[in-house]
């Protein structure tokens, strides 16, 4: 039980750092690139995907405490920074395992279901709060 609480705290600490990094990146990119395109989301998602891909290779070979580092950095920091990095990693693993159909299904389902979910949430919010 104690180890589980330590792992949760590790993820939470990393997640707080990731969320602050995401906010900072959004603020900086809006100042540099403008607000006419969601550059900040694109930059965060690409950067997070690059980082998680690198860490997939680097961590197992360079860190004796890789479970806690993985929890802090990959799940925490990158999870708070972007969840798209996890999606990218999981899709890559499916492709590397030769599961092209599953990889394509993951891509299609993620895109379609997330767009439907945001649409449903938006319209539910408008229905529940018509004055907003």
Domain ranges of the chain: 2-81
Confidence category of residue 64, pLDDT binned at 50, 70, 90 = low
pLDDT at 63: 64
Which is nearest to 104 in space by CA: 86, 114, 92? 92
Question: What integer pLDDT is reported at residue 65 of this predicted model?
Answer: 62
Q: What percent of the chain has pLDDT over 90?
A: 47
Mean per-residue pLDDT for 61-72?
78
């Amino acid at each position: 039980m104690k180890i589980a609480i330590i792992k949760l705290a590790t993820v939470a600490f990393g997640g707080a750092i990731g969320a602050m990094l995401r906010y900072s990146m959004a603020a900086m990119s809006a100042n540099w690139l403008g607000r006419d395109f969601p550059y900040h989301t694109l930059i965060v998602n690409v950067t997070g995907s690059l980082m998680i891909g690198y860490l997939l290779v680097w961590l197992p070979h360079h860190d004796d405490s890789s479970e806690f580092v993985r929890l802090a950095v990959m799940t925490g920091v990158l999870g708070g920074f972007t969840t798209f990095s996890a999606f990218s990693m999981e899709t890559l693993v499916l492709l590397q395992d030769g599961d092209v159909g599953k990889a394509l299904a993951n891509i299609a389902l993620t895109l379609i279901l997330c767009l439907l979910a945001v649409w449903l949430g938006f319209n539910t919010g408008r229905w529940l709060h018509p004055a907003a």
